[in-house]
Amino acid sequence: MMKAGLYFHIPYCVRKCEYCDFYSISDLGSQQTYFEAIRKEMEGYRYKNILVDSVFIGGGTPSYADAKEVESLLERAREIFSFSPDTEITIELNPKTFDEEKLLVYRRSGVNRISMGLQSANDDELSKLGRIHTAKEFLSSYHLLRKNGFSNINTDIMYGLPDSTVTTLQKTLTFLKELDCEHISAYALTLGEDSPLYQRGYRFPDDDGVYEQYRLVCEMLSDYRHYEISNFAKVGTSPCRHNLKYWQRAPYLGFGAAAHSFYENCRWENPADIQGYIKQMERGAHSLITNISAEEAMWETLMLSLRTDSGVSFSQLPEHFWEQNRSLLQQYEAHGYVKTGETGFSLTEDGYFVSNSILTSLKLDTLHNQ
C-alpha cells in the first residue's frame, strides 16, 4: 500500500489580499456544487491502493466556506481511501472567519493541525497587505483555537513588507514568540508587477534590507528547528508532514480547482477556475498528465532536497556530480553557504537565502549524462 497525502483546494476568500496570486473567489454561491465536484473527483481513486497519512485543506480561506462541507469532504475521503491512525489533517484558517461552532465541526472531522495567517503584528502593515484582521483580532482567534483543544498550530508571517524595518519585524516576532506556536512559516514577500500591492507605490526593502530581516527571523527563532527554507518547527514537535511530501517527492493527490498532484512519477494540475473545474468533473475528464523523465526527476530531487536541512545525498545524484561540482561546492562551503559531508551536502541558513543562485550555478549538464 502506497502512502500518500491529500490536498484539497478551497478557493473561497472574504476578499483577496493585496499580495496574493493564489486562485480564489469571494462568492460562496457555488460552494455546494464545488464540494460535490471534489467528492466526484476523489471517486476516480477508489480502487487505488493508497494509505493516506496527511491531508492539507488549503485555499483561499477554507474557514470561510461551510464547515459542514469540509466535514462531508473528509467523510468521503475516509470512505474512498485508507487512513493511517495518526494521519495529520491540517486546515488553513484566517482570523474572523470562524467561530466555536466551526471549530467543533473541524475537531469532529478529525482536523488535528491548524495553519493560521498572521503575516504581521503591525496593524498598518496588515492594512497595506489588505488583511481582514488586526493583530488583536488574530490574538482573539488564536486563543479560541487553544480553548477548543487545538495543540498543533502553525502561524504564517512575512518579511520584506512595504515600508518595513527590522524594528517592525522584531515586534511581529516578539508577538509570535509569546504565543509559543508549535510551527512558524516565515516567507519573504514576493510580488508580481501586476499585483495591487506592487502598484501602490510603497517603498520596499532592498536586497540587503531583506537579508537583514531574514537574519533576524533566524536569530529570533533559533530555538526552533529551521528544517526548510521558510519553515520552523518547535523543538520537540514535528515538521509539517504534508509539506515534507512536496520536498521529498513523495506522492500526493490534489483535488479541486488549481490543485496539483504528483503520483507514480507523474504530475498534473486542475483548471484554475471553479466553473471550468466543475464542468471537467461533470464530463468525467482528467487533467493533462506529464510523465517525469529521469533527468527531470533528478533535477527535482536536487532542487527540492536542498530546501531542507536534510539536504541531498550523493547517492541520489549521478556518480560524477561531486567530481564536476567539487570546486564550486567547496567555495560555497568556505563562504558559509554549504555544509558537505561524506554522504551528501545541504545548505546553511545563509545558503537558504541565496539558494536560487546556488542551484543555477551547479553544472546541470551532469544531470543529463548518466
Model confidence over 263-273: pLDDT tens digits? 999 999 999 99
Question: Is the same domain home to 141 and 238?
Answer: yes
Whether residue 242 has pLDDT greater than 80: yes
Question: Is the same domain home to 209 and 324?
Answer: no
* Confidence at 367, pLDDT banded by 50, 70, 90: very low
* Confidence at 200, pLDDT banded by 50, 70, 90: confident
* Phi, psi angle pair for 88, to nearest 5°: -80, 125
Looking up residue 69, the CATH number of its domain turns out to be 3.20.20.70
Residue 262 lies in a domain: no
- Over residues 236-256, mean pLDDT: 97
Q: What is the 3-state secondary structure (H, E, C) of 225-261?
A: EEEECCEEEECCCCCCHHHHHHHCCCCEEEECCCCEE
Whether residue 368 has pLDDT greater than 70: no
Domain that holds residue 323: 294-368
CA distance readout (Å), 155 to 119, 184, 187, 356 = 8, 5, 11, 25
Please say which residue of 247, 263, 286 terminates a domain.
247
Model confidence over 290-310: pLDDT tens digits? 999 988 999 999 999 999 999
Q: How much is the pLDDT for 370?
A: 42
- Over residues 78-107, mean pLDDT: 97
Model confidence over 158-168: pLDDT tens digits? 999 999 999 99
Residue that the C-alpha cell 567547496 belongs to: 330
* Confidence at 364, pLDDT banded by 50, 70, 90: low
Structural domain count, the chain: 2
pLDDT > 70 fraction of the chain, expressed in percent and rounded: 98
Q: How much is the pLDDT for 318?
A: 87
Question: Is the same domain home to 301 and 242?
Answer: no
pTM (two decimals): 0.95
Bridge-based pairing of strands 231-234 and 252-255 is unpaired
The better pLDDT of the pair 366, 77 is held by 77
State the average pLDDT for the chain.
Answer: 94
Question: Is the same domain home to 46 and 164?
Answer: yes
Residue 52 lies in a domain: yes
Question: Is the same domain home to 243 and 319?
Answer: no
Looking up residue 319, the CATH number of its domain turns out to be 1.10.10.920
Residue 260 lies in a domain: no
Q: How much is the pLDDT for 251?
A: 97
Q: How much is the pLDDT for 115?
A: 98
- Over residues 344-356, mean pLDDT: 97
Q: How much is the pLDDT for 193?
A: 75
* Confidence at 366, pLDDT banded by 50, 70, 90: very low
Which helix H or strand E contains 77, and what residues bound it?
helix 67-80
